[in-house]
Amino acid sequence: MAKKIMVSIKDCKPKMIIAETVYNDYGAVVVWENTVLNRLTLMQLENIGIDYLYVYEQETDESMDAKISEQKLPGQAPDDSFLQSYEKDKSDIKTLLLDLSEGETGSIEKVLDIANSVYARNEQNMDIINCITQIRNVDEYTYYHCINVSMLAMLIGKWLQLEPIDIHMLVQAGLLHDVGKSLIPGSIIKKPAKLTENEYEKVKKHSQYGYYLTKRLNRFDNRILEAILYHHEREDGSGYPRGLNRDQIPLFAKIVAVADTYDAMTANRVYKPKQTPFKVFDMMQNSCFGYLDPVVLNTFLSNISHYYTGSVVKLNDGRIAEVVYINYMQYGKPVLKIGDEYIDLMVRKNLKIEAII
């Protein structure tokens, strides 16, 4: 591993690789470690008053180029080994949910096996983020959703700097959060249209069903059970099943709620096409305060959005642009670059990102 050295921002050059993540005054990530510096990033870092950076000591051009090509890009499909284990987890959770709904009690080891498989990817942030936004098979939505919520809850746990044992529990809570849906008729769960009031009341029972299904196994930590029971509670008391508010909602339930909301909003369903992550950041930042815990939500948005710096996007006027800066005021409206022109989507309100390409 190359040595980390501290370099004055004035002496930093494009192609140097950042060795320690840089945060702004609000605690949000400005640039991640292992980012390859370019002229614009250097300019931005200088503008926000960063004087020094930790970078890796320069290596030969060949090894630098190898490192650069190893970097994962936003919007890029995860590699085959990641996708294979993701698909296997999806199949395993499908079997597990069926077993649990049929009263099979020997399922605890299977939960831990899948949780361990998800947890083993805890260093692969970019693959996880890219995986969530891939097009999914709509018939298998529920199973992909469980794995995705589990992976996202793991990332949030890391970003909140929780202990590894807590993060592992969050992985389990994410896997099991919707297990109660296995007791609700498939015709309602898979209905490709808006639910009637009566159907919606039935769906709302899933958090209680899930709680009882897992509680009777007598092996899961109470915080996992509470996350299952309370993941639809909302900060303003408008959620279910108990209408709890703010301080009454346990942290794990708040984390699963944020992960659950993001995955549901990014998914393609029979009745809705998938949204770009930027659109979802926008919706979450502007309409979820009051519903989701502000600290958990902001930690999530400030961290995940920065993975999209460098992504190439298509605008509603057909032009192709590069995302060069994520603004913490509006995570869904970054600064873009087309040729020599910089476009701030917070200012140019008529322009929208239509797709990541």
Residue whose entry in the numeric block shows the structure tokens 């305060």: 289
Nearest 5°: CA angle at 73, between 71 and 78?
Answer: 90
Q: Closest CB to Fe ion among 121 and 206? A: 206
- Which amino acid is located at 244 in the chain? L
Tokens found for residue 146: 């469980």
Minimum distance, C-beta of residue 146 to Fe ion, in the bound complex (Å): 8
Q: Which helix (H) or strand (E) holds 251?
A: helix 251-266
Contact in structure between 156 and 125 (CB atoms under 8 Å):
no
Cis peptide before 277 (omega within 30 of 0): no
Give dist(CA 292, CA 285) in Å, integer. 10
Cα separation of 35 and 33, whole Å?
Answer: 5
Q: Residue 208 or residue 245: which is nearer to Fe ion going by CB?
A: 208
Amino acid code (one letter) for 182? S
Q: Which is nearer to Fe ion, 177 or 333 (CB)?
A: 177
Nearer to Fe ion, 228 or 301 (CB): 228
Q: How far is CA 21 from the centre of its chain?
A: 19
Minimum distance from CB of 155 to Fe ion (Å)? 16
Shortest reach from residue 87's CB to Fe ion, in Å: 20
Please, what is the minimum distance in Å from the beta carbon of residue 343 to Fe ion?
35
Contacts with Fe ion by CB under 5 A lie at 178, 260
Q: How far is the CB of 180 from Fe ion (least distance, A)?
A: 8
For Fe ion, give the closer residue by CB, 268 or 330. Answer: 268
Instruction: Fill in the DSSP letter of residue 37.
Output: P
Instruction: Please say which residue, 152 or 251, places its beta carbon nearer to Fe ion.
Output: 152
Report in angstroms how near the CB of residue 186 gets to Fe ion at its nearest: 16
